[in-house]
């Protein structure tokens, strides 16, 4: 079964546990600047939104990479940066429509979410269920269900 990260921003409180979990998983330290998931704060709207790579089926970063450093993990479907191949040209960062693959000056390579091999640390750490790891075919269906429930409130055609 293919799984996918699913983000419900309405549940995010901005605690940044996800960012710390990500940096700990990948770098063995707590370091927000190294996190591959980012929580954005829209102060005047009172909204916090976690955002990371959605692992496009047809991944533009992968297509754009001139050295084939980005490859698919067959088990998880994650598009994974192979650091030993990456030359740090950053073309993928231009190709990605969502900005979720990023250059890291320290290493001279790019980094992106790799789904932690199928057990994403961010989803495990999230205390509110804003970040979940769900059956990929179910993505969006919770929202669909919520809207379906609201159809009851529509005016009914009279007989």
Report how far residue 59's alpha carbon sits from residue 110's, in angstroms, rounded to the nearest whole number. Answer: 15
CB of 124 to another protein, least distance (A): 9
The count of other CB atoms within 10 Å of the CB of residue 136 is 15
111 near another protein, rule: CB under 8 A: no
CB of 16 to another protein, least distance (A): 6
β-bridge partners, 81? 70
CB of 159 to another protein, least distance (A): 33
Contact yes or no for 133/125 (Cβ under 8 A): no
Please identify which residue in 36, 48, 109, 112 interacts with another protein, judged by CB under 8 A.
Answer: 48
Cβ contacts of residue 105 below 8 Å, gap of 6+?
A: none
30 near another protein, rule: CB under 8 A: yes
22 near another protein, rule: CB under 8 A: no
Range in contact with another protein (rule: CB under 8 A) among 50-58, 62-70, 125-133, 149-157 = 125-133
Residue 91 DSSP code: H
Please identify which residue in 1, 45, 84, 150 interacts with another protein, judged by CB under 8 A.
Answer: 45
């Amino acid at each position: 079964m293919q799984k996918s990260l699913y983000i419900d921003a309405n549940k995010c409180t901005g605690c940044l546990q996800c960012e710390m979990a990500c940096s700990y998983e990948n770098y063995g330290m707590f370091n927000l600047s190294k996190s591959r998931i980012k929580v954005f704060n829209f102060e005047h709207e009172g909204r916090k939104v976690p955002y990371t790579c959605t692992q496009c089926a047809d991944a533009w970063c992968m297509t754009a990479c001139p050295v084939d450093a980005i490859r698919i993990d067959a088990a998880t479907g994650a598009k994974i940066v192979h650091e030993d191949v990456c030359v740090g040209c950053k073309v993928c960062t231009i190709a990605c429509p969502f900005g979720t693959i990023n250059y890291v000056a320290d290493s001279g390579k790019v980094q992106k979410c790799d789904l932690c091999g199928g057990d994403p640390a961010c989803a495990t750490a999230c205390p509110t269920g804003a970040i979940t790891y769900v059956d990929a075919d179910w993505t969006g269906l919770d929202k669909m269900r919520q809207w379906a429930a609201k159809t009851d409130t529509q005016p009914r055609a009279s007989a």
